[in-house]
Amino acid sequence: MSDLSLIYTAIGSIALLLFLVMKVRLHAVVALILVSFIAGLASGMDPADIAATIEKGMGGTLGFVAVVVALGAMFGRVMEETGALDQVAYTLLNRFGTNKAHWAMTFTGFICALPLFFDVAVVLLIGIAFAVVRRGGGSVIKIGISLLAGIATCQAFLIPAPGPILVASQLDANFGYMIGIGLLASIPAMILGGPVFSSLIAKKVHVDLPEHAQTTEQERVGGVAPSFGLAISMIAFPLLLIGLKTIVARFIDPDSTLNGWLQLIGHPFTAILLACLLAFYLLGIRRGVPKERIMEICGSALQPAGVIILVTGAGGVFKQVLIDSGVGGALGNMLTETGLPIVVLAFILAAAVRVIQGSATVAMLTACGLITPMLEPLNLGGAQLAAVTIAIGGGAIVLSHVNDSGFWLANRFLGLSEKQTLQTWTVMETIIGTTGAIVAILVSLFLP
């Protein structure tokens, strides 16, 4: 097939996926795998190879993400159930003061979302935003959008959030560089999309505190919440292990035993596993929480994580079909002729898929499938691959609209109309994604 025919096949496949999910209401896992079969046949793949490609895509994706998602879900739930996340939020609020509560909420969302999935982070933290509004800390729009900006920024650019760490693993980007460049992209992005934008849009859009914003407090396990120092240390621990591997490894013999241990200890699997074990002990057993209760919390965390794992794996299937069918190479050839830098192309590809099908995770995975054939001949360094990963994360969250679950989370929790959600949530996401991508482009110009 010609390159143009392959690209039309990809566009048609994404349109079919959108139709099946939005109109037919087919579950995302079923829709993604079904469309993968159809895309493989339509692109001229040998029917005997399609099943193997699907198996490869599912296994290749889940081999990494299943472990990270499962461990991260348990870690996050223990942090939430013991009040550690609440302690971080309330401490930041007290230190920022009521007048700067929207700044506190942005940093709260950014920090507390690290061990959580986006939807889970919103559900767990939105109550803190409502409490701030009730205390006179600002409008629903100003406080709510600031919180969502912090969460969205973390989930787009910073590991160990599921999306960025998945893309980094697929592109074989250096996790240490990911932390550094992710922070460089995140800080201006969340400030512009959070406190700055929320202060401006709150003057134009106003809603009352939703009726579902109740004042009841959740009963915590372990009694009194842990200290702020302990809570923030638990969140920082896996990041430090991952970063330590990258920094120290640059100064020692790559064939040494020490380097081998650093590679093991600093791998996300090990880092999050150790964080889980520390959380079980320091937040649970040491504070008198029965072991059985800790295991119940872990079990409850794995139920929603299972759905996320399967959807992510199915997205990996679709990505693999795009690679093996030649669609990625065809689109790469066409875009390469534009002369745009690879980081810019990564942002454009992710943004295009995001607008068409809605899911940020699927947009990231699909963009990986499209960009991978373009990366192979370039032999990019660790910083360059990390910049490409950040650009994909930025493109995958821009222009959120009615086909994105995040759009409806913001709409329902904040009590907005569809027009108000477009004015607030959609613009905020676009500011964050574009700002992060600009930082990634600038980094790619100066780092090897």
Written as one string, the DSSP assignment of 345-362 is HHHHHHHHHHHHH--HHH
275-282 contacts, C-beta under 8 A, 24 or more apart? 275/71, 275/75, 275/115, 275/234, 275/237, 275/238, 276/71, 276/74, 276/75, 276/78, 278/234, 278/237, 279/75, 279/78, 279/79, 279/234, 280/78, 282/226, 282/230, 282/234
The pLDDT of residue 345: 86
pLDDT at 193: 93
Give the pLDDT confidence score for residue 430 in this predicted structure.
Answer: 95
User: Which residue matches tokens 């994105």?
Assistant: 404
Cβ neighbours of residue 349 under 8 Å, at least 6 residues apart? Answer: 331, 335, 366, 367, 370, 371, 392, 395
Please answer whether residues 176 and 245 qualify as being in contact, where contact means their C-beta atoms are separated by less than 8 angstroms: yes
The C-alpha angle 145, 147, 152, rounded to 5 degrees, equals 90
SS3 131: helix
Angle between helices 382-395 and 140-157 (to 10 degrees): 140
- Cα–Cα distance measured from residue 395 to residue 357, given in angstroms and rounded to the nearest whole number: 13
Query: Phi and psi for 136 in degrees, rounded to 5?
Result: 85, 25
Query: 382-395 and 342-357 helices cross at what angle (nearest 10)?
Result: 30
Q: ∠ at Cα 92 (159, 183), nearest 5°?
A: 25
| DSSP 8-state secondary structure symbol assigned to residue 212 | T
pLDDT for position 87: 78
Q: In degrees rounded to 5, what are phi and psi of residue 179?
A: -65, -50
Report pLDDT for 429: 94
How confident is the model at residue 77, as a pLDDT? 81
Cβ–Cβ contacts within 10 Å for residue 204, how many? Answer: 10
Digitized pLDDT (tens) for each residue of the chain, 448 residues in all: 677 788 788 778 878 877 887 678 787 788 888 988 998 898 888 888 898 888 888 887 677 678 877 887 788 788 878 878 777 767 777 777 777 888 888 988 888 777 666 766 776 677 677 767 766 657 888 888 999 999 999 888 987 777 787 788 878 787 788 888 889 999 999 999 999 999 899 888 887 777 655 444 445 565 677 888 898 888 788 877 876 776 676 678 878 888 888 888 888 788 889 989 999 999 888 888 888 889 988 888 887 677 767 776 777 787 778 778 877 667 656 766 777 788 888 898 888 777 766 677 777 877 887 777 777 777 777 778 888 889 999 998 898 876 566 777 777 778 787 788 888 998 999 999 999 999 999 988 876 6
Task: Return d(Cα 252, Cα 391) in angstroms, integer.
Answer: 31
For the chain, the 3-state helix, strand and coil shares in percent, each to the nearest 5, are 80, 0, 20
Return the residue matching tokens 């992005």.
189
Alpha carbon distance 104, 126 (integer Å): 13
What is the C-alpha to C-alpha distance for residues 73 and 117, in angstroms, rounded to an integer? 8
pLDDT at residue 216, rounded to an integer: 43
Residue of 383, 385, 382 whose CA lies nearest to 368: 385
Per-residue b/e over 243-272, b at no fewer than 16 CB within 10 Å?
Answer: bebbeebeeeeeeeeebeebeeebbbebbb
260 Cβ contact partners less than 8 Å away, ≥ 6 residues apart = none
pLDDT at 99: 78
Measure the CA–CA gap between 146 and 141, rounded to whole angstroms. Answer: 8
